[in-house]
Chain A
Amino acid sequence: MGQVEQRELEELIEIRERKKKNIFTYIKFLLIPGYIMEDLAIREFEYEKTISKRKFIRRLKSILTILGIAIILVIVSFAVFCPWIAPQSLAETVDFYPNPQHPSQWPYQPPSSENPLGTTYFGRDILSILIWGARVSLTIALPAILMALIFGVIFGTIAAYYGGWIDTIIMRIMDMFLAFPGLILILVFIAMWGLKLEYFIMAYGILGIAGYSRLIRGSVLQAKDLPYVEAARASGAGNWRIMFVHLLPNCIQPIIISFTFDIGGIILGLAGLSFLGFSDPSLVEWGFYINQARAQILDAPFAVFWPGFMIMITVLGFMLTGDGLRDALDPRLRNI
């Protein structure tokens, strides 16, 4: 008992001592420019972090960005929850033999109560196609982007950090890949490898490496000569640690923005490929149904309209989010 009170007394004395110290140090803080008081510095740092987080969130809260994030959430929920949302199951949606029993499953019916958006050439419901197609688009786009991101970032950071002949070789190889127009190289890859899901992912992944490595090479080249890298090197950090623990988190900002734009770009590219006919026939692709309904555009324009509208809305969501992120992270607009 006595010991506890003794300890509390000692703590109170310590606090008072510290407070006394604070009064003198407070005077010093006022008079001497550049005087750093420890707990004030800590509190100020936390305050700055909170303020910058608040500014970021405030700038992110514009209505268009919220709309973009909402669209992405809707599309992702389509992709994840489609067995429960879609009116028809996947087997019924890709079934190639129309079931002529019920008039609602005849080809190219106008929108009705059974099929809210009409039917396709095989008599399948268009709404189910829109919902199941979200899953396929995201399944191809996300792994491809991640593959391009990871490898591109690694190559770009290595090239920019080491410089010299490593930089020249890596960038020459990337320039050679960038010398081809995008869709053409993808078409050639698909002609080489065949029409399966994995080959699409690999083709877009390989093509994206060049773009990301270029992007991060620019950022790392600028950040390589800053003092914090020198400080890290002086405190004994090895090359890999400097590259991936110190440099990379500070250079990642254009990558995040490019990431969101590129997902939209890949979804558009996939739609184009499946429109031209290069798609896995067992997958539900939006572009494929636009191509299929092309012959009937005079009689059934809704069959062409809705898949394309879905593509547009999906890509719009990613573009809006990317725009909002770019405006929120822009260092030049820091005071707004």
Chain B
Amino acid sequence: MRTITYREAIREAIAEEMRRDQRIFILGEDIAGYGGTYGVTKGLIEEFGDKRVKDTPLAEEVIIGTAIGSALGGLRPIAELMTENFSLLASDQIVNSLAKFHYMFGGQPKLPVVIRMPGGGGAQRGAQHSQMLETMFAHVPGLRVVLPATPYDAKGMLKAALRQDDPVLFLEHELLYNVKGEVPEPNEEYTVPLDRGIVRREGRDVTLVTFSRMVHITMQAAEDLAKEGIDAEVIDLRSVRPLDLDLVLDSIRKTNRAVVAEEGWKYYGTGQGIAAVIYEHGFDWLDAPVGHVAGKDVPMPYSKPLERAALPGRAEVIAAVKAIVPAPASVR
């Protein structure tokens, strides 16, 4: 297998699927001539032309409305929102239309709409450009919300998303675009399921449940813990809605302990939701309260040291694990 970046993996998925299915087109702000704010769609206009690679005005509500309407008219749109933060301008269409139509209209309309959006912090982009908003969407019945952490998953999950009929919010962390990873050759077809997590590291002392960029930070923490004799299992959820809860519970039956690690805000969010379903379905298997590592409860500050303090890091994951795992000598 070759090694490519997360950005290239997404671009390949789009191009391959557009070649495969003429109904697929992509629209968004500055995706054609500019090549995408993060360079993801670079080159697509040359291959597919301006009929299928549509630059739009800066008007998020109509971008998503157009994606929805075009799906109702028989197409399979990919809408790129320049950042997740701007999805709030389109949140009426996402929450009130995209998530509801299939149910509200008695199962008649199908909305195979994929909305891609970069999000997350860590690049000093300030309070309005650094948010993780998966919680808002994962709360809503009728949507799929996925956050791949590796180039392999990004390509495989985007292809899978374009081959099924549910609306998918595809959340890409801005700091993952340059992450490299092994991906099969372009001629090797593969997809990755949209509702299955994966065990990134096996361990027996504690289960670390995470997704998106925090997978990488959590893996580093697990390696550090191993040096101290604590054997952590790391689960990359890949999708937060639906949630692969059995994967988590199976692991907890083994380890009896869990820490949820996410970049988003701590309260009333995805991580607390996951902790709650662990308690609901796995209470009798726990030997300690579920630990939780999350972003600080503040708007993202700009200043570098403050931003660093606001984001959860390796040390916090390690501390959360040690708070619930007995000292290694007595583990053995």
Q: Do A and B bind each other?
A: no
